[in-house]
A and B are shown apart, each in its own frame.
Chain A
Amino acid sequence: MSKVECIMARLEKARRAIGSDVTRESCIGDKLIEQLEGQHFNMALEIGTRHGLSAMVLAHYAEVVITIDIERHPLLDATLAVFNQGLQSRICALHVRNDLDKRLLVSKLDFDMAFIDGQHTFAGAELDFMITQKCGRVLFHDYPCSSPDHRGVGLFVDSITTGTVTATPPFAWWHADGVS
């Protein structure tokens, strides 16, 4: 079974366990896998855990995934419980009180890739980018989203003036200068 087939099988298992609506809501439906194929990271940081499904996908492309959220979704534990012990151990799902705590924590973390899928306002995307860009590789979800509630991500990504932005809707990669 290929890696992609393995991920898809696990997603199907999760879908059965926690409900199809969950996977439809998630960025998984937007083919996160395609964005990550061929890459491998030491430490991926995700902002915006929600159900934990994207963290599961990321865990196939990183040694460790730290995923941070402010609210613990009631289905998160159920999602993580679906995965085997080996995969679970690569996912560290944290919760903090607010954006200030998130900023403080991330400032002391080492990671080499960030996936931003938290608040979808301009200010939310800006903050998440500001605190994660030190890693050199940032993947945004919902670029450029047509949903009025999510337009902030697109507006913010379009305003970035440093590094290189590569748009592959509904995702956008940002790479710092000199980082591939």
Chain B
Amino acid sequence: MRVAQARADKCIADLTAKEGRAVAACSAVGDGLAERMAANGLHYGTLLEIGTYHGVGAIVLAHFADRVITVDVTPPSDRQALRDIYRWLEPDIAARICQVWVPDNAAKATLVASLHFDMAFLDGGHSEMQTALDFRITRKCGTCLFHDYPMSGSGCDGPGIVLDRASDENDGVVTTCEPFGWWRAA
């Protein structure tokens, strides 16, 4: 796993050298996503990411899974930017990432209900309602990693509220390592 982490870190370093640091701004990558995944010690078959943003998180995740399906509710006008950053990747990593755009939360829920995946990374909308929805539709896989736990204020307290609620209700096993939080089915 440390090899995967080192490879992921180098991949992001190469990417930011070419595209500029802004490409990874506000991403979980800067908060140590690769380190968290490496510490988890597992390689997954299919990993689902909710919240593509610039697509950088998916690149890190692709070092810890055979395939990454990353879903976002994104205006089509942003697509070109998303498409472009993957041209810098090694082909074996780029080929593991599947980007999907859905028009709204209803379509996202429909898609996820039909998908098979082993782990979910939740980094989409950070409101309580949005986070609760993403958790509800992805928890079937048994392992969810939340980013921005326990961010509060500005309507971004969803991960904190949802994970703390799960912990309080003994719903699965919650392990936090800020700014991330794991939920695993009991």
Which A residues have a C-beta under 8 Å from some C-beta of B? 43, 64, 66, 72, 77, 80, 88-89, 91-97, 100-101, 104-105, 108-111
CB of B152 within 8 Å of the partner chain:
no
Instruction: State whether A104 touches B111 (Cβ < 8 A).
Output: no
* 0/1 interface trace, chain B 84-107, chain A, CB 8 Å (1 if under): 000000000001011111110011
Instruction: State whether B67 touches A66 (Cβ < 8 A).
Output: no
Complex interface: chain A residues within 8 A of B107 (CB)? 91-94
Instruction: State whether A108 touches B46 (Cβ < 8 A).
Output: yes
Complex interface: chain A residues within 8 A of B79 (CB)? 95, 97
> Of B5-13, B113-121, B166-174, which stretch is located at the interface?
B113-121
CB of B76 within 8 Å of the partner chain:
yes
Task: Report the interface size class on chain B.
Answer: 20 to 34
5 further interface pairs, Cβ-Cβ under 8 Å (given A95-B100, A101-B97): A43-B114, A92-B106, A93-B102, A94-B111, A104-B67
CB of B83 within 8 Å of the partner chain:
yes
Instruction: State whether A101 touches B100 (Cβ < 8 A).
Output: yes
The secondary-structure label for the interface of chain A is: mixed
The secondary-structure label for the interface of chain B is: mixed
How far is B32's CA from A85's CA once the two chains are assembled, in angstroms?
A: 41
Min Cβ gap A64→B in Å is: 6
Chain B residue at minimal CB-CB distance from A90: B110
CB of B34 within 8 Å of the partner chain:
no
Min Cβ gap B116→A in Å is: 5
* 0/1 interface trace, chain B 50-94, chain A, CB 8 Å (1 if under): 000000000000000001010000001001001100000000000
Instruction: State whether A66 touches B98 (Cβ < 8 A).
Output: no
Instruction: State whether B76 touches A72 (Cβ < 8 A).
Output: yes
Complex interface: chain A residues within 8 A of B116 (CB)? 108-110
